[in-house]
Amino acid sequence: MSKTKDLTIKDVRVIVSSPGRNFVTLKIVTECGIHGIGDATVNGREMAVASYLQEHVAPCLIGRNAHEIEDIWQYLYKGVYWRKGPINMACIAAVDVALWDIKGKVAGLPVYELLGGKSRRAVTTYAHANGETIEGTLDSAEALIAQGFKAIRLQTAVPGLEGTYGVLGDKKDYYEQQSSRPLPPEQPWSTRKYMNSIEALFREARDRFGDDIALTHDVHSRLTPIEAARLGKMLEPYDLLFLEDAVAAENQDSYRIIRDHTTTPLAIGEIYNTIWDCKELIQNQWIDYIRTATTHAGGITGVRRIADFAALFHVRIAPHGAPDLSPICYAAQAHLGLWAPNFGIQEFVGFGNEVSDTVFSHDLTLKDGMIHVGDSPGLGVDFDEEAAAAHPYKRSYLPVSRLEDGTLWSW
Ligand code: CS2
Ligand code: MG
């Protein structure tokens, strides 16, 4: 069937829109009229990706055969000379995912079938419970458990610190925090205050919900390896599914220190762009979950490579799923999650909001805390350019963190 269709790429469009928050969307159109879409959003640096795509990537795609996903991936990776990097890899990711979408549509099959078919019924997720107090956080967790979620991430405000990661107070998101000042909001950090308050959250969670519910926590790279080792030990009695981003690991060796001291499972990877960023973490079995996202780590092709490598070392995938990942990314990761033999869990904060629903349509559904993928050919997600045009890009930044004496810290 595909032989009769002309899959020469004739148009590549880059659309930056803000339906509730900024997204960079790539649309690849072929001569026969079949199109595919990809997500290239890099939160807070959207225009860098858009111009890289528009100016440098799009011209190289015109006239190419959309079926040649691997060759186009290599052409954009090896061929660019400047390897890796968040902007470059998000652009490769958007192209890759759009091409998988096209291939699925041409084959008349959902992408997970092209990857090797289903390994499970649906994709288990974990949801976020946040609160200004432990009680508030656990009330929010209880509501999620009532909706059917079997795994919950718990984040609660650190007493004495204004604006803890994951807790937004009276603000809906970081965009609202910047309405009067479009610059990175600044938030204080104290490791001592955090370490003195965090155990109670998990103690009370286990007291209230028992042992069946899976719990995770995101440290957002605020600790040093030895502090993270102490935290892992401290939380061992509460049996976390994983402790996320305990330490930033540009130096992957750091995780050996944590691993030497604790049996709390470890997860990392949401800001990684390639397999090279996590190679040692995986092959030394210093982590348990790798959280690379299709949007930031070279698309379905990039994350599939990481997943296959990770499987050799008992590491499972748990892709990043924050609100800055568009529904296209959610769909791509749902297809991967349905296939990957070593899938662990998918982070999930909803498929979007009322505004983004007018721009993105998709055939994913959530039931009992699991994402079910429809049987539409390709990714099963689409993007309405006209609706997007009603929501122009608006500059926005992620917050930064400072110690109480003003020293810049990891946010
Ligand atoms: C995160 C995100 O979801 C997560 O685990 O760490 O909140 C992250 O801070 C944002 O996606 C950054 O863009
Ligand atoms: Mg995180």
Mind giving me the DSSP string for 329-378?
Answer: HHHHHHHHHHH-TTB--EE-S-S--HHHHHHEEE-EEEETTEEEE---SB
The pLDDT of residue 23 is 98
Which residue's alpha carbon is nearest to atom 2 within ligand 1? 322
| Tokens encoding 278 | 């996590």
Query: Helices 225-235 and 191-209 sit at what angle, rounded to 10 degrees?
Result: 20
Distance 244 CA to ligand 2 centre (A): 6
Predicted model pTM: 0.97
3-state DSSP assignment of residue 49: helix
CA 328 to each of CA 23, 24, 40, 351, 361: distance values in angstroms, whole numbers, following the listed order: 10, 11, 10, 10, 9
pLDDT in tens, the chain (411 residues): 446 899 999 999 999 999 999 999 999 999 999 999 999 999 999 999 999 999 999 999 999 999 999 999 999 999 999 999 999 999 999 999 999 999 999 999 999 999 999 999 999 999 999 999 999 999 999 999 999 999 999 999 999 998 888 887 777 777 887 877 789 999 999 999 999 999 999 999 999 999 999 999 999 999 999 999 999 999 999 999 999 999 999 999 999 999 999 999 999 999 999 999 999 999 999 999 999 999 999 999 999 999 999 999 999 999 999 999 999 999 999 999 999 999 999 999 999 999 999 999 999 999 999 999 999 999 999 999 999 999 999 999 999 999 999 999 999
Q: How far is Cα 194 from Cα 191, in angstroms, rounded to an integer?
A: 5
Atom of ligand 1 nearest to the CA of 321: 3
Q: Is 49 exposed, middle or buried (0-12, 13-18, 19+ CB in 10 A)?
A: buried
Q: How far is Cα 406 from Cα 397, in angstroms, rounded to an integer?
A: 19
Residue 187 CA from chain centroid, whole number: 23
Which residue's alpha carbon is nearest to atom 1 within ligand 1? 322
Catalytic residue among 165, 194, 238, 289: 165
User: Scanning the structure block, which residue is given the tokens 């405000």?
Assistant: 157
Range 301-317 burial, b when 16+ CB lie within 10 A, else e: bbbbbbbebbbebebbb
Give the closest residue to 102 by CA, choosing from 356, 365, 378: 378
Distance 243 CA to ligand 1 centre (A): 14
Which residue's alpha carbon is nearest to atom 8 within ligand 1? 322
Atom of ligand 1 nearest to the CA of 153: 5
Residue 396 CA from chain centroid, whole number: 19
β partners of residue 9: 30
Atom of ligand 1 nearest to the CA of 349: 3
The pLDDT of residue 3 is 61
Residue 145: what are its φ and ψ, rounded to 5°?
A: -65, -40
Distance 298 CA to ligand 1 centre (A): 18
CB of 322 closer than 6 A to ligand 1?
Answer: yes
Distance 273 CA to ligand 2 centre (A): 15
Residue 296: what are its φ and ψ, rounded to 5°?
A: -110, -10
CB of 324 closer than 6 A to ligand 1?
Answer: yes
How many C-beta atoms lie closer than 10 Å to residue 342's C-beta?
Answer: 18
Return residues with CB closer than 5 A to ligand 2 (ion).
218
Distance 322 CA to ligand 1 centre (A): 5
What are the residues whose beta carbons fall under 8 Å from the beta carbon of 154, sequence distance 6 or more?
129, 137, 138, 141, 201, 202, 205, 215, 216, 217
HEC string for 340-353: CCCECCEECCCCCC
Which 8-state DSSP code applies to residue 29? E
Ligand 1 pocket test: which of 154, 266, 270, 295 has the largest number of ligand atoms within 8 Å of its C-beta? 270
Ligand 1 pocket test: which of 294, 324, 329, 400 has the largest number of ligand atoms within 8 Å of its C-beta? 324
165 given a catalytic annotation: yes
Q: How far is Cα 31 from Cα 56, in angstroms, rounded to an integer?
A: 21
Query: The domain 114-377 belongs to what CATH superfamily?
Result: Enolase-like C-terminal domain (3.20.20.120)
CB of 101 closer than 6 A to ligand 1?
Answer: no
